[in-house]
Amino acid sequence: MATDDHMILRHENARYRDIVGHLVFRRRLTKSPFAEHKPGAVAGLDSANTDWVTALTLVIQKVLAAISSPLRRLGRLLEFLLNFFSINGGFLGVVRRCLTFHDVCAVSLVIPQRESPDFLSLIAHIDGRYELNRTFFIGDIPALEPIPGVDINPLSLCMMASKLSYENAAVIVNQVEKRWKMHFVRFFDCWNRYLKNRATQAFIFCDKAEDANVIVLAFRGTETFNALDWITDVDLSWLSIGEFGKAHLGFMRALGLQDEKDFNKGFPVDHPGHHHGRALAYYAIRETLKDLLAKHRRARVVVTGHSLGGALAVLFPAILAIHEQHNILSSIHGVMTYGQPRVGDAEFCRNLDAVLKSKYHRMVYRYDIVPRVPFDKPPIALFKHFGTCIYFKSWYEGQVRRGGIAEPQLLPSPVPVVHVLVRFGGLDEGVLLGFLMKDFEESYVSLIYRASGLLIPGLASHSPRDYVNGGSMARIIN
């Protein structure tokens, strides 16, 4: 299989009338102005008509691109206000501070600074828990073994690191070193040459500075108000990575791909690791892990991420395998993802499953929309899931689904509309579980966020809050 086989959908080249015309008149996708591909890359692709999956994906991407700037500004404003009131003691605290003068001119109000250690993301305002659980839950998954020398549940360590990845570097350092009493190594703020910004973040920490037992790599996921992240998640574009299969093009771009039509040129084994002086995620992280494993020879590596971060957590070891980075691969204790989108085709899944064996697990909570994208509808959309899936049903009942079984459909069987809307929003759990379960925590910000599920089915179920709750309180009912 050639490493330059590819299929790229460019929503920026598609007009709405082009999309509708191709869909209604069943025109060939490969003859459209918004699709690029290598002839013969996939059986049936050359003659495939534009289907509703492709049309819907392009429309979603165009809408997200159109609202990208106002959505980002809305997010920054909302986070500023949440931090403003939180830092100043709530609404009443703001009123009191306005009446408290330090001198003739200045009031005691604190203005939030985005890079400060007390400025929290929307994710943290929805759920501010970061306590590590040292007990073991979901015990009937024997493949996810304890980390030698570490008395913390690996699921808890991964969940909290995934959630923490949404915060700024100062917050992460503060949590790792002062709260968890562990050793912070590095925060990565890496370049995506196709988005032309530092769009990929990750961080690494160890359980201790000397003779560490575990090295944790956590990738930042899809940010709520970042339309570019959502555009990447739903994208159907792919690139062949040779005999290993085909992988999602957008996720490879996020890791530092330099040529979107040839994998060998896009990810050469030997590369300076930067683009015009800007760090590329795959290379920067790979070299850091090499240095750490040389220093901490007994350490086991855990890779994790939520949402888009989960996709990068899966793709990263795949590229390591292609590049024959056996030292890092043999040190991987586990790859654990939460609300992860699909990453590659069936062949990619088989090959990576053979590399990771029983070390890969993913969690899916209820109606979470992200694990159901990108769509799986050959010959255009080729994306599959694999590995062991821990699927959370309502009321935090869990099922272990092995062998890459797909999650249930997003839409449940026909029931009254009001019931569907309430369930999509998770409002039943948000209101009732607070009374029924003593360990359940729900803030007003969290309840308001749940209401987003009334507008966008599956969005409210994507919050890390529910993955923390599910992993802490779920019962396996298989």
Q: Does 56 score more than 80 pLDDT?
A: yes
Assigned CATH class of 116-410: alpha beta
Q: Which of 156, 240, 307, 472 is catalytic?
A: 307
Say yes or no to pLDDT of 132 above 60: yes
Question: Is residue 353 annotated as part of the catalytic site, yes or no?
Answer: no
- Per-residue pLDDT for 439 more than 80? no
Is there a catalytic annotation at residue 394? no
- Quote the pLDDT of residue 81: 94
Query: Is 378's pLDDT higher than 70?
Result: yes
Q: Are strands 397-401 and 475-476 parallel, antiparallel or unpaired?
A: parallel
Residue 167 has pLDDT above 60, yes or no: yes
The catalytic position among 127, 361, 462, 466 is: 462
Query: Residue 455 has what pLDDT?
Result: 74
CA distance 126 to 449: 8
Average pLDDT over the chain, rounded to whole?
87
The pair of three-digit structure tokens given for residue 316, joined into one six-digit string: 């990263």
Residue predicted with more confidence, 288 or 445: 288
What are the CA-CA distances from residue 420 to residues 72, 406, 455 (Å)? 29, 21, 12
Contact indicator for 237, 308 with CB cutoff of 8 Å: no
Is residue 472 part of the annotated active site? The answer reads no
Question: What is the rounded CA–CA span in Å between residue 194 and residue 252?
Answer: 11
Query: Between 7 and 276, whose confidence is greater?
Result: 7
Give pLDDT tens digits for 315-348: 999 999 999 999 999 999 999 999 999 999 999 9
Q: Does 298 score more than 90 pLDDT? A: yes
Q: Which has more pLDDT, 99 or 212?
A: 212
Which residues are within 8 A (CB) of 444 and not within 5 positions of it... i.e. 6 or more apart?
none
What is the mean predicted confidence (pLDDT) over 159-188? 97
Q: Give residue-wise pLDDT tens across range 223-277.
A: 989 999 999 999 999 999 999 999 999 999 999 999 999 999 999 999 988 888 8
Assess contact for 209 and 283: CB atoms under 8 A.
no
C-alpha distances (whole Å) from 316 to each of 48, 93, 121, 285, 340 are 31, 46, 25, 9, 14
The average pLDDT across 456-467 equals 83
> Are the C-beta atoms of 452 and 373 separated by less than 8 Å?
no
Q: For the chain, what percent of residues have pLDDT higher than 90? A: 60
| Cα angle 359, 360, 363; round to 5 | 135
Domain spans of the chain? 116-410
Task: State the pLDDT confidence band at 104, using cuts at 50, 70 and 90.
Answer: very low
Answer yes or no: is pLDDT of 160 > 60.
yes
Handedness of CA 365, 251, 354, 217 (dihedral sign): negative
Residue with tokens 């079984």, as numbered in its chain: 405
- Rounded to a whole number of angstroms, the distance between the first and last alpha carbons of the chain is 40
143: left (phi over 0), alpha (psi -120 to 50) or beta: alpha
Q: Name the pTM for this structure.
A: 0.93
* Residue 107 pLDDT grade (very low, low, confident, very high; cuts 50, 70, 90): low
- Look at residue 429 in the predicted model and tell me its pLDDT: 62
Q: What is the mean pLDDT of residues 193-205?
A: 94
- Both tokens of 375, joined, read 């769509």
According to the per-residue pLDDT averaged within each range, which of 365-379, 405-419, 461-475 is highest?
Answer: 365-379
Task: Quote the CA–CA distance of 188 and 204 in Å, as a whole number.
Answer: 8
Separation of alpha carbons 198 and 192, rounded Å: 6
What span, in angstroms and rounded, lies between the C-alpha atoms of 55 and 290?
43
Band of residue 306 on the pLDDT scale cut at 50, 70, 90: very high
Query: Range with the lowest mean pLDDT among 229-238, 349-358, 417-426?
Result: 417-426
Task: Given the residues 368, 385, 446, 461, select the one marked as catalytic.
Answer: 368
Between CA 334 and CA 304 the distance in angstroms is 8
Range with lowest mean pLDDT among 22-26, 66-70, 334-338, 457-461: 457-461
pLDDT range class, residue 34, cuts 50, 70, 90: very high
Residue 221 confidence (pLDDT) above 90: yes
pLDDT at 134: 64
| Least confident piece of the model among 139-143, 352-356, 378-382, 394-398 | 139-143
Gap between the Cα atoms of 155 and 471, Å rounded: 8
Q: How far apart are CA 430 and CA 451, in angstroms?
A: 10
